Structure 1
Amino acid sequence: MRQLIFLFIIYTSFISLGLPDSLLGVAWPKMVGEFHVAHSAAGIISMTIAICTVIASLQTVRFTKKFGTGKLVLGSVLLTASGLIGFAFTQNFFLLIVAALPLGLGAGAIDTSLNDYVSVNLKAHHMNWLHAFWGVGATLGPIIMGIVLNNDVSWRNGYLIIGGIQLMLAMILFLSLPLWRQSEQKVSTETEETTAPFVEVLKQRGVVFSLLSFVFYVGLEGIIFLWGSSYLIEVKSLSVATASFIISMFFASLTMGRIVSGFITFWLSNQKLLLYSEITLLLGILTVAFGKGSVMYVGFTLVGLGCAAIFPTMIHETPRRFGKRNSRAIIGLQVAFGYVGITVLPPLAGVLFQGFSMNLFPPFLVIFALILLGATIVIEKLKMQRNMGS
């Protein structure tokens, strides 16, 4: 029973990570008029959050050693709550940027510390379900904000409600600290606590390919989030409502796919699940490229199902691929490089789409998916060579 409660707390923490992720996009059309800034100014806020997330991800090893995972996650949820409540009360754009700082720092620490804990201490199905709970949070956030806006209530109340939910989650985490202490004492007796410096970690064979995988996978997700609807409207001549619904099918299949993938890991290895997922992703992209009309539902559903297990499985494979001693540092780098991918690649793709053609959308996704598949194969070959040499 104690273990089930502890698992529930870990999953709940990832709901808190997902809750703020989609809020800015939903609320910004209402926010922009109040702050008298250009519509594109949302990019400054999102960039601030992303940079702080990268910084926090790279510092998580040090803070986890100092405070422990439980206290770090608690502090991080409090940081995100303070950022959200700051958004609710600030009256000028500069202070919005200030409020974005704790939002990004909290997200990076939660993401890295929990991914590391689950990858080292729990089985693959828990990693997939953990990321499914991120999907629950990422879905609930816009729903809550949407209800607020549809009732002609200020967007500030939406941020305040979600900030309040974060504070309730922080209270649950505070009460759970004894469970975290017991778990971490057990882990410290079973695993070596020393961690190699980042420079040494990067020299380990296969790590660079792993980081490339995160850049291009998360960048691929970001391009779908940002440009998928535009592609369906401009190239496939679908209505705005139909395009929005098809993209929502992608999110739904991504979340449901992670739940199903958790069960699949009971009889399929991580390595096979990763390869099958990447092949399914490629099939989905090709369906999107060559299909028309209602076939787009099938295409984006396949893309979502293909994506579902990739991120959590790559994270969970880190200790097996590179050893438990270095997993915390490598996961910090993986999360950081993932945020670099989603920060840089979607805007870059947008510039090219605007300058040339929206028809480039599927080729971009195919190239990214092929890089991902190639990197996965190379990492496994290097792992086999290390095993043969040892």
Structure 2
Amino acid sequence: MAAPRNEPRHRVVVGSLAFTFLSFAIPVSMFGVIWPDVRERFGQSLGALGVVSLVYGLARMSTSGSGRAATTRFSIGACIVAALAGLVAVDLVVATSTTWPIFLVGVAGVGLVSGLLDSVGAGVLATIGEVGSAGLVHGAYGVGATLGPLVVVVIDDWRWSLAATAVVAIAAAAVAVAARHDWPPPPPAPSSRSTAPPRRATTISLLVFGLFVAVEVTMGQWLFTYLTDGRGVGDTIAAVGVAGFWGGTTVGRLLLANPVLSDGIDRIGLPACVAVAGALYVGVAFVPGWGIIVCSTSAGLLLSPLVPTLAARTARRVGTMHAQRVSGWQLLAANVGAISVPAGTGLLVDWVDPQVVVLVVGGCLAAGFPVLLAARHLPDLTAN
């Protein structure tokens, strides 16, 4: 879409945005892995991780629609640099918290700045309009989510692990400052007149985003607890299993920049990817030892194309004139799924036991499969 003369500027912008997404993915991916030490330090129950998920999710959702307003009043570069400075501060609040309420305040702060950065980033990607760029940025988020659990394993102290995330955010802010003259203007606001978006396509889009983001976040936050407390798996294998899930998701999204791969996924179909991922997820509940890592990594790889592909093709489902508005709704639906399902899982873990995590994620996959089939058969509203 972009003219050749803009490509170098876009590379700078996309590179900075990718680093930004990586920086705010790291702390949230740590929460599930550091939870045993955190809950012992603050005297919380096993299922109180759901409270952490709820606080983070509500805070993130509260700013997930603020990108357009913020970038209209200020510049995109200024919003990103300021939010990254805030991320440094709240990462340090979480790392140095001495009480449970202060810990939750820090978690909420991470959610607030993450929602703003996510929203601003969505506007930038919509302006650039390149599937490869979207894949790179979403993949960078996965890199951060993969690194988070591994940092905890290497540093082996939850406070210093979170302090390390502040260093990454500082580096991302420095890159954003260097790119401050290359950011594009924010996309124009959609018209409030004219017809409403197609109801069926919009409903399907929102359900798909809500369900499959819920799968990703619940797996990322609860897989470690399920494996260690539900299956009795060792901490190292469980942590690497979580990192493997995010790693598979990351590699798959980065590879979307290759048109041969993205065309191959189109031919195979996203429902087929989900079906095989579901079978691999069942394997996580039964295979021994290192086989868990193979299954979780492969499941992440197969689920990876869903969100970037569906986001990039929003205009096909709802039409070009409604794409901006529906993209915002999809981000909101994704946040609802990311909040409600992991938080509800925490309640179920306390009421039942950690084994219930398998049923929750499996239920979301089963519910999402027919919705994804319906999305595949929607007409292309951008076709002549």
The two structures have a TM-score, normalised by structure 2, of 0.80
Query: How many angstroms does 1:120 deviate by?
Result: 4.6
Q: Decide which of 260, 267, 274 is 1:278's aligned counterpart.
A: 274
AA of the residue aligned to 2:299 = V
Match of 1:316 in 2: 312
Counterpart Cα distance in 2 of 1:362 and 1:31: 23
Q: Which residue of 1 aligns with 2:326?
A: 330
Between structures 1 and 2, the one with greater helix share: 1
**Which stretch of structure 1 is more off in the superposition, 228-237 or 2-11?**
228-237
Deviations 1:131-171 (A, max 9, x none): 22112212333434444435xxxx44433332233123213
Partner residue of 1:344? 340
Q: Secondary structure at the match of 1:4?
A: helix
Whether the aligned pair in 2 keeps the contact of 1:201 and 1:330 (CA below 8 Å) is no
Could you say which residue in structure 1 is the equivalent of 2:214? 219
Give the whole-Å Cα distance in 1 for the aligned partners of 2:233 and 2:42. 33
* CA deviation string 1:176-229 (max 9, x = no partner): 12101xx32xx76xxxx232569x867644112111111211222233334445
Kept in 2: contact 1:57–1:333 (CA 8 A): no
1:15/1:136 contact within 8 Å kept: yes
Alignment match, 1:168? 171
Check whether the contact 1:77–1:167 (CA below 8 A) recurs between aligned residues.
Answer: yes
Contact 1:87–1:96 (CA<8 Å) still a contact in 2? yes
CA deviation after TM superposition for structure 1 residue 8, in Å: 1.6
Paired residue type of 1:257: G
Closer, same or farther: CA 236–37 of 1 in aligned 2, 3 Å: closer
Q: Which amino acid aligns with 1:97?
A: L
Q: Is the 8 A contact 2:29 2:145 kept in 1?
A: yes
Provide closer, same or farther for how the CA distance between residues 138 and 219 of structure 1 changes in structure 2, counting only shifts above 3 A.
Answer: same
1:1-390 paired onto structure 2 within 5 Å = 1-32=8-39, 35=42, 41-149=48-156, 155-180=158-183, 183-184=184-185, 193-196=188-191, 204-229=199-224, 241-264=236-259, 268=263, 271-272=266-267, 274-285=270-281, 287-288=283-284, 296-349=292-345, 364-384=360-380
Amino acid at match of 2:173: A
CA distance in 2, matches of 1:210, 1:236: 35
Corresponding pairs, count: 375
CA displacement at 1:122 relative to structure 2: 3.7
Moved more, 223-232 or 169-178: 223-232
Gap runs ≥5 in structure 2: 1-7
Measure the CA separation in 1 of the matches of 2:246 and 2:69: 34
Structure 2 vs 1, CA of residues 361 and 21 (structure 1 numbering), >3 Å: closer, same or farther?
Answer: closer
**AA paired with 1:138?**
A
Displacement, 1:268? Answer: 0.3
Distance 2:249 2:81 in 1: 27
Structure 2 CA distance for partners of 1:241 and 1:36, relative to 1, 3 Å: closer
Gaps of 5+ in 1: none
Whole-Å Cα distance in 2 between the matches of residues 351 and 15 of structure 1? 29
| Structure 1 position 370, deviation (Å) | 3.9
> Which amino acid in structure 1 is aligned with residue 276 of structure 2?
T
Task: For residues 299-329 of structure 1, give each alpha carbon's deviation from its aligned partner in whole angstroms, at most 9, with x where no partner exists.
Answer: 3333112111112212212233234444343
Q: CA deviation at 1:28?
A: 4.3
C-alpha displacement at 1:57, in angstroms?
0.8
**Would the aligned equivalents of 2:220 and 2:246 in 1 still touch at CA under 8 Å?**
no
Shift of 1:43: 4.0
Letter paired with 1:315: A
Q: Distance in 1 between matches of 2:161 and 2:293?
A: 31
